[in-house]
Structure 1
Amino acid sequence: MKAIVQDTYGPPAVLRLEETDRPVPGRGEVLIRVHAAGVDQGVWHLMAGMPYAVRAVFGLRAPKTRVRGMDVAGRVESVGPDVTRFRPGDEVYGSCNGSFAEYACAKEDALAPKPRNLGFAEAAAVPVSACTALKALRDSGRVQPGQKVLVLGASGGVGTFAVQLAKAFGAHVTGVCSAAKADLVRSIGADEVLDYGQTDPTDGTRRYDVILDIAGNRPVSRLRRALTARGTLVIVGGEGGGRWIGGNQRQLGALLLSPFVGHRLSTLASTEHHNELEVLTELIEAGSVTPVVDRTYPLAEVPDAIRYLREGHVRGKIVIRL
């Protein structure tokens, strides 16, 4: 089968299209014929091995898993022992290791039936980013109807889902993005859109019950100025912080500070599970949530897709079509 592989950490140039063996599903695994695969920042971190803390888990000198890609949508080709929820021919979506390939193996628990009203490309945009947004708002943020929610990074992969989910939970949503993406964020349901080039949403003139900071770099002290007295800050990813632990430095600081202040300061280490995917499927099929796909690329152009992602111009998600 054709797959995008890497044997060393580095820039997108380390990725190449190669013929490799088709994976064999193990116990509790499903073999998927991949129709589409999503691209997100997590793919870049694993490709680059940055921050260096990533390498402690995924391979010190080289990636343990050669094939990149996490989001996946496709049809079940075969199932391994003990799989009970799927059979060959089922249309599924979810996450796995190695979705930038014609075939990929995924754990049964990381998959759900594909929403009936989505094509494979749209479905592949959902799992990692939407599960992250769902857990950040529902579990960490505990968003309630009528609360004011601020989404920093509202036009990206996680952000576009976060805006829609917060609205589905009954919140008043303010999205922060560039002026060029304001219409998009408004079109997916934001009650108010702030251009970060013109307005500082953390200057203390506005207060929010929940702030979701996606891949930002603002100091925690500054974010707290925009919270209500008992407000909640949820940090998802982040930039800066150095080459060793990256944005985790800010997350660690927030966790250490949280017990000593009135605000609840929370971080997120998201994994995808069929329970969350099923919640998302219900919302998608009801029309409350719709994936935003910026553009699609063929499998051979995964390096170009990742370069475009890192340029910071993406609206929603990028998808690889097979």
Structure 2
Amino acid sequence: MAVDIGIDLGTASVLVYVKGKGVVLKEPSVVAFDRDTNVIKAIGEEARLMLGRTPGNIVAVRPLRQGVISDYTVTEKMIKYFVQKSLGRRTFKKPRISICVPSGVTEVEKKAVEEATFAAGAREVHLIEEPVAAAIGAGIDISKPCGNMIVDIGGGTADIAVISLGGTVVNTSIKIAGDDFDEAIVRYMRKKHNLLIGERTAEDIKIKIGTTYPLVEEETMEVRGRNLVTGLPKTVTITSSETEEALREATSQIVEAVIGVLERTPPELSADILDRGIVLTGGGAMLRGLEELIEEKTGINTMTAEDPMKVVAIGTGQFVEFMSGRKDF
């Protein structure tokens, strides 16, 4: 039996959807390898735990940067590993793989993804734009002639698109997303508290108390890092309103991009969007206060899809079935 697989190849994590089983695998897109021998030590969650904690000869890298392949051979090995892990057994027939790319990628970048997937053992490869996959996964019927607006905030890129009749009408892709939120927190801690923290600590802060809209009740968290003045370890208590200040610049760029897409949307579709609202998907959409912020700035009802992390992977997997349905149409 040939298998249909959908892969959400993200900057931060890779999700694999197998037809008939749903999302079977969700792991960080991190690979750790030995620099001296070029042997891969760990892939996925195991490698993520090594980020910033490895000896000199072992490097933990993210082979994808801002939704684009930055290290081709490592990406190919990573896709191969995840495909084999999700299938669990050796199949005689190579799988059909649909894989998603950010909406703003160039032909060269698309070719790189396609070739890496073929090299990882695919029989057929379909490339899908992330917003289209997100819309299918969120349960929106995109084959109808009415406008739906999707804001997909991943780890490396935020894709904003208006979709109608199975394709994108207006779209934009900006390289501001989850990773930039982390970096903004690292910068803020350094500037405001003279504290140097790593990527993983910044991500913890973002998940636990991060917000982009003032909360009714302040939340606090203890953060440990290195004091830049004395060079010694130090603990600082920070509040959720500080994270709002730290994230303000990055989130306002996303809101501006949303407004930019709305300005270019044909009037008929604008009316549909006002009626149906904006749907947020992707891991970045789980940041608190984002719905309220976009709603306040645009005046359009905004909601987050159910299980936003998995939406793109589910949509990518269902796209093959959707397309085979379209052929009859």
TM-score relative to the length of structure 1: 0.31
Bigger Rg, which one: 2
Relative to its length, the structure with more helix (as a share) is: 2
